[in-house]
Amino acid sequence: MDASSKESSSWNGSQTERDDLSRVSELQFAAAVLAKDRKATAEFVARYADGIYAYVRRQLIPRMDLVDDVVQDVFLAALHNLNQFQGTSSLRSWLLGIARHKVQDCYRRLFREPDPLGAEGPDVSWLASNEPTIEESMDRADLEKKVRSILDQLPEAYSLALIWRYWEKRSAREIAEATGKTEKAIERILARARAQFKRKWNHG
Amino acid sequence: MGEFKSNNDDFFERLARKTDFNDAPRAPSTLKSRIYTKLLQRQNESGPLMSLSEVQAGLCVFEKIIALAPIGGNFKRVNPCSVCHARVLAEHVEHAPIYWRNCPYVGFQKR
């Protein structure tokens, strides 16, 4: 069913109803946004921005400067395509699907930038000859701070490659497909990224 | 298809397990405000907004005046937020000192 074909008048954005999501069909809610009910649009942002923001932020660490723009793009794309929302999944899942695509677009753009060491750059694996260790005594907050700080210092493609590979558990092939690079190129980037990360880990 | 795993992978896999970065931060209210403004702009570009007389949810004091005023229907479809000080503050200041009842920009600061 097309959301736009629904009557929007049955959506009432009073506080009581806002808090009781089960009483408000998401299709009717989407229809109210499509009918340009400004209060429904405000509720659309209020209800879903936190979830989308948390997702995008997690995907784009350490590039926090990109997060706001990507989240805004997600909402603009959602508004543009809201008439295609079928209600087969929750509105939140539908928005997260858009967010996933936007993050991938962002990754693709960043990977398109030239490899900082060149395609045939030197092998830097020797930089990490001392195998790093994760101190058990370090608490999670400190550990996260250290990881973020190192990721922040790496060339963009390197930090994104590491996050995608290890934090998002994507294979080199999946990253290659998503970024339009060859699997070999991704493995080369990962090798250099690991080496630089470890060097900073040991000496940072 | 399984991938070759080296000792290199072990270190990073352990690191990823220990640091999931899942601190679930909330979106800044300034960002929510800017997104809302942008969405209303887009909606306005493709035709007038729903008349304030038809909007069923709570209206702020300015919207209420427009909704009740004996003026032309087209005027009730404008977006008064575009010239409101509350919007400007909310888009630029986290925890902005605005307290209008039923103002969406105030709402973004609370949620």
Task: Sketch the domain layout of chain A as residue ranges.
Answer: 3-112, 125-203
Of the spans A14-18, A68-72, A84-88, A91-95, which averages the highest pLDDT?
A68-72
Q: Which of residues 40-69 of B touch A (CB under 8 A)?
A: 40, 42-43, 47-50, 54-59
Minimum distance, in Å, between the CA of residue B110 and any CA atom of chain A: 10
CA A159-A161-A163 angle, to 5 degrees, is 70
Do A3-112 and A125-203 fold alike per CATH? no
Nearest residue to A32 (alpha-carbon basis) of B54, B68, B33 = B54
> Which CATH number does the domain A125-203 belong to among 1.10.10, 1.10.3470, 1.10.287, 3.40.980?
1.10.10
pLDDT, average across residues A89-103: 92
pLDDT of residue A116: 54
Q: Which two tokens stand for residue A35?
A: 């009918």
Contacts of B57 (CB under 8 A, 6+ apart): A12, A13, A14, A37, A39, A40, A43, B102
CB of B66 closer than 8 Å to CB of B76: yes
Length reported for chain B? 111
pLDDT of residue A184: 92
Half-sphere exposure (CA, 13 Å, Cβ side) for B27? Answer: 28
Architecture of domain A3-112: Orthogonal Bundle (1.10)
Contact B16 A39 (CB under 8 A): no
Q: Which two tokens stand for residue A123?
A: 């092998």
Query: Tens of pLDDT along B5-20?
Result: 455 678 888 888 888 7
CB atoms within 10 A of CB B26: 13
pLDDT of residue A109: 81
In whole angstroms, what is the distance from residue B34 CA to residue B100 CA? 18
Is the pLDDT score of A48 beyond 60? yes
Residue A144 pLDDT class (50, 70, 90 cuts): confident
What ipTM was reported for this prediction?
0.82
- Buried/exposed B70-108: b ≥16 CB within 10 Å, e otherwise: eeeeeebbebbbeebebbbbbbeeeebebebebbbbbbb
Is the pLDDT score of A19 beyond 60? no
ω before A155 within 30° of 0 (cis)?
Answer: no
How deeply is A168 buried, as exposed, middle or buried, from its count of CB atoms within 10 A (0-12, 13-18, 19+)?
middle
Is A102 part of the contact surface with chain B (CB cutoff 8 Å)? no
Domain ranges in chain B are 28-110
**A122-131, A134-143, A187-196, B50-59: the lowest-pLDDT one:** A122-131
In whole angstroms, what is the distance from residue A123 CA to residue A105 CA? 29
Neighboring chain B residues of A49 at a CB cutoff of 8 Å: 27, 31-32, 35
H or E stretch at A48: helix A38-60
pLDDT, average across residues A104-109: 84
pLDDT of residue A110: 77
* Residue B80: closest C-alpha in chain A: A38
